[in-house]
Every structure is written in structure tokens, then in C-alpha cells.
Amino acid sequence: MGKNLYAKVFDRHAVEQLPSGQYQLLIGLHMVHEVTSPQAFAMIREAQLGVPFPNRTFATVDHIIPTTKNERVRPLADTMAEEMLVHIEKNTSDYGIRFFSPEKGEQGVVHVVGPEQGITQPGMTIACGDSHTSTHGAFGALAFGIGTSQVADVLSTQTLAMSRLKVRQIRFTGQLKPGVYAKDVALAYIHKLGVNGGVGYAYEFAGEVIEGMSMEERMTVCNMSIEGGARCGYVNPDETTFAFLKDLAYAPKGDAWERAIADWRSIASDADAEYDDVVEIPGEEIEPFVTWGITPAQSVGVGDTLPSPAQFSGSEQQVVTEAYEYMDFQPGQQIAGVPVNVCFIGSCTNGRVSDFEIAAEIIKGKKVADGIRALAVPGSMKVKNALEARGIDKIFVEAGFEWREAGCSMCLAMNPDKLKGREICASTSNRNFKGRQGSPAGRTLLMSPAMVAAAALTGKVSDVREVIK
């Protein structure tokens, strides 16, 4: 039997097996942001440790940064946010780490910046103090989130103590129907396998649906692995991957490019690779999904009604009941037609160029419904500039969207962009947890950028396929 990508990449980065049975794993790429790193830098300073591989760590600021030009003037009005920004500037400067700064116009969400600069490459091990690090798996890398103590481990040793995961291949066969996007694919596998179905596994996403996807779509699919409990998810590298990387700032050039491609081909899963589990999901069965509850698995197709708690097993029923209570929805009601207050397009899940292109096509020449607050927040300044160069920002502004600077924004609302009270947000982000979008009582409905665009125009959850008819 052949080997899968996970095994190949893990093996070439294993330094040695530790007495605990875990492996000391070399981390090829370390991404850092302002929220989970200041304590890690303090730890290595206190222990008087150095950073042996400073050119394998890259940093940016995303969670706390405001997304309007006025609010970004330094010092930031929020003194705590300013302090965090000052810390990452000083920490990266002290240790010789490349910082993608707002002032130079190269800042963005950490999981958008790495890929768009060509820093994220196939065959790497990638860690970041952020659970959505799984995004980078789209390139055929093993990429996973870590805590702050582990950020200090990577800074000071370039390694982590890690257990080997099992590998589950999720094969999406056939084709997606019109109006169904990568976000729906992500919500589909979480719906099928549950929010903890992936614990102990890496997910390998495969099949015709994945092979036909762009890199941006693959990133959306991998991004939400962690929402299904899988710490990392990946796609085998192919011609689409190589075409995306070619000529990016940090991609290998000249002879090194040729050597890199040969190496990247070799780390893809073998045709006869072994898996611990294989799951097949027909692409035709995937609908535009909308979450209705407080976990990303609590979703229905846009044409469906909300499930009865009786449909769930005993231990799941409690979370379903809790979700109905928090969301103030009723079993049996249609998800379509639920009024929304806020529409958010952005985040590491859906904040890339194609996400805004898709939404722009739907809203072009139309207006956001009365009373709806609609935010378009590019995932990086590079994404923002690319869209503005083509006038796509104007489509959003003319439709009534606020066109913002780059950041995590209302995905987790650590900056000024927050829900108020019991507001309902149609959101392209990744988590519908209680209070996630900045109001302890706020409500989040996760969906694709196309579906958020449809909600913005109609003021309620709407089937995008009907809206564009």
C-alpha cells in the first residue's frame, strides 16, 4: 500500500520520538498574529531563549485592527488594541521576524496573507496560534492551530510535540449544482460528520468536486476542518496549486521552482494510499446551506425546515434545545424568510477575491434592503487593492455595502465591528457560537458569500438561485 500525504509530510519533519510517544515535529512555517503571541514572546524573553529560525516565522495584525481608515489612525482609539499592535511590532522587530504591517498596506488576515504571498507551500508543516490554520492545508501542507505555550515552543525550537493523527479521506464525487459553493461543501461535511467527528483525524479532501476547485475554494473547504473537529485538513497539490503559486513573492524561482514542483508532486498521496477511514459525499446532494443554531453542524438546506429535537440522539438533543432557546427559532419553521439585520462578507473563510466577485455579480445594480447593515471586509489589503483595481468596490458601495479595510472584523468582533443586542447576522464567517460576533446575545447564520449577498438584497434568508432568476 502507498502512503498518504499526511504520512509523507509528517515523516520528513519528524525529528525524533519523545518518551511520551509523541513526536518532535519540525515546523516549516510559523504564522503569528497579535492576539495569541504576546504572552509567547514574554515566555521566551523570561526564559532568555532565542528564535533560531526567525526567517521561518511571519507575522501580521488582523484580529484587533479596525476596518475603517479613520479608526486605523495611530495610536488606535482602543488603548488595549494599540498596546497589542505595539507589542507585535516590537516583538517582530526584536527577533528579526517579517511583519506584514498596516502602514505598508500589506496587512491582512493571517490565513489570507500566507497563501497570497506564496509563503504557504505544499509539503510544509505549518502552525499558528489560531485554529483556522487548517486553511493552509489547501496547498497540501499539514497546517494546524496551536496554543500560546506552543507558539513559544515554535519560536524557541521551531518544533512542537505532536501526536500522529489518523487520516480520513472525504471524497466529494460528481459535480456541484449551480448556486452551490465551497462554503456549502464545508457546511455539508460538518453536517454529515458532526462538530467532533474529526477529533483524532486529519481530513484529506478529494474527489472531482475538490479537483475542479480553485485554490481559494479549496482554502474555504480546508478552513472549516476545525469546525468539524479535525485539527488539519488538506488537499493534494496539483497543477492548480502550482499555477497559483508561480511567481508569487515568496514562491521559489528559476531552477528552484522546477525542483520545488518535482518535490511537491512527490508528496501527494499515492494512488493506492491507505486511509483510516473513507467517506463519500455526492456533490449533487449538497444544497446551499444555512446554519440555524449555535454549532456549525446545526445547518439545513435553504429550502428546508428546521429539525425537530426528536430527530437527534439523546446526548445531542440538549444542544439542539439550547440552540432553539438561544436563537428563538421553532422546529418546523422554514429557514428561508428569516429576517436578518446585518450582512457580513469577509473572514479567513470567505474573504478572498473570488468571494467578493461572486457576491458582486449578485448585487450589481441592486440595492441592499432597507434597514440592513451590510459590510464587505476584504481578507487582506492585497485582496482589497485587487478588487478596487477592477472597480468591484464600487459595486458594493453603490449597492449600499460598507467597503472596509482588511481584518478579521465581525467574524469574532475583537475590533469595533460588532453585532448589537439580539441582531441576526447573515455571515460568511466560520462560527455561529453564542456571542461570537460581539454581542453576548447576537445571532449568526453561516452561509456562502452568494447567500449573504441574496440576504442583503432581500433583508431575509433567501435562496440565491431564486434571487438571481
Among 159, 241, 409, 462, binds other proteins (CB under 8 A): 159
d(CA 395, CA 376): 11
CB 145 to other proteins: min, Å:
4
Select from 188, 422, 460, 181 the least CA-distant residue to 343: 460
Nearest partner of 4 among 178, 345, 233, judged by Cα: 233
Single out the residue of 2, 147, 212, 337 in contact with other proteins (rule: CB under 8 A). Answer: 147
Q: How far is the CB of 158 from other proteins (least distance, A)?
A: 6
By CB under 8 A, which span of 8-16, 95-103, 234-242, 448-456 interacts with other proteins?
A: 8-16
Spatial distance between the Cα atoms of 424 and 343, rounded to a whole number of angstroms: 9
- Which amino acid does the sequence have at 251? A
Decide: is 251 part of the binding site for other proteins (CB under 8 A): yes
Q: How far is the CB of 114 from other proteins (least distance, A)?
A: 13
Tell me if 229 contacts other proteins by CB under 8 A. yes
Q: Which of residues 230-249 bind other proteins (CB under 8 A)?
A: 231
CB atoms under 10 Å from CB of 325, counted, come to: 10
Instruction: Give the Cα separation of 423 and 437 in Å (integer).
Output: 10
Residue 276 interacts with other proteins (CB under 8 A): yes or no: no
CB 227, CB 195: distance < 8 Å: yes
Task: For residues 391 and 223, give the distance between their C-alpha atoms in angstroms, rounded to a whole number.
Answer: 28
Closest CB to other proteins among 435 and 459? 435
Q: Which stretch binds other proteins (CB under 8 A): 66-74, 250-258, 340-348, 389-397?
A: 250-258
Query: In 265-310, which ranges are E strands?
Result: 277-282, 289-291, 299-301
The SS3 of residue 185 is helix
Q: Which is nearer to other proteins, 14 or 386 (CB)?
A: 14
Tell me the closest approach of the beta carbon of residue 211 to other proteins, in angstroms: 25
The identity of residue 393, as a single letter, is D
* Residue 386 near other proteins by CB under 8 A: no
CB of 22 to other proteins, least distance (A): 5
Does 77 engage in binding with other proteins (CB under 8 A)?
Answer: no
Q: Which is nearer to other proteins, 278 or 441 (CB)?
A: 441
Candidates 183-191, 193-201, 363-371, 378-386; binding stretch for other proteins (CB under 8 A): 193-201
Contacting residue, 45, 166, 246, 259, with other proteins by CB under 8 A: 259
For the chain, helix (H) and strand (E) counts, in that order, are 17, 19
Residue 172: C-alpha distances to residues 220, 235, 296, 415 (Å): 15, 12, 19, 37
Name the strands in the sheet holding 443-446, side by side, starting at the edge strand that comes first in the sequence. Answer: 402-403, 373-377, 342-346, 424-427, 443-446
Stretch 430-469 residues interacting with other proteins (CB under 8 A): 431, 433-436, 438, 440-441
**Under the criterion CB under 8 A, does residue 153 sit at the interface with other proteins?**
yes
> What CA–CA distance (Å, rounded) separates 384 from 404?
8
Query: Minimum distance from CB of 276 to other proteins (Å)?
Result: 15
The interface region with other proteins, picked from 35-43, 94-102, 283-291, 389-397 by CB under 8 A, is: 35-43
For residue 351, state whether it binds other proteins (rule: CB under 8 A): no
Helices 381-389/392-399 angle, 10° precision? 90
Interacting residues of 215 by C-beta distance below 8 A, sequence separation 6+ = 115, 138, 139, 240, 241, 244
Chosen residue from 76, 97, 152, 362 binding other proteins by CB under 8 A: 152
- Does 182 participate in binding other proteins (rule CB under 8 A)? no
Pairwise CA distance, residues 234 & 186, whole Å: 13
CB-wise, 253 or 367, nearer to other proteins? Answer: 253
Query: By C-beta, is 245 or 461 nearer to other proteins?
Result: 245
Minimum Å gap between C-beta 341 and other proteins is 19
**Residues between 320 and 339 that touch other proteins (CB under 8 A):** 322
Least Å distance between CB 160 and other proteins? 8
Q: Give me the least distance between CB of 425 and other proteins, in Å please.
A: 15
Rule CB under 8 A: is residue 266 a binding residue for other proteins? Answer: no
By the rule CB under 8 A, 52 interacts with other proteins: yes
Distances (CA, A) of 5 to 59, 235, 237: 27, 9, 9
Q: Which residues pair with 443 in a beta bridge?
A: 424
Unique residue bearing C-alpha cell 456562502: 448
Q: Whole-number minimum distance, CB 315 to other proteins, in Å?
A: 6
Total interface residues for other proteins by CB under 8 A:
87
d(CA 38, CA 61): 12
How far from chain centre, in Å, is Cα 291?
Answer: 17
Cell 497563501 identifies what position?
115
Give the x-and-dash track for 282-311 against other proteins (CB under 8 A).
Answer: ------------xx----------------
- Angstrom distance (rounded) from CA 368 to CA 135: 30
Question: How near is the Cβ of 110 to other proteins at its closest, in Å?
Answer: 12
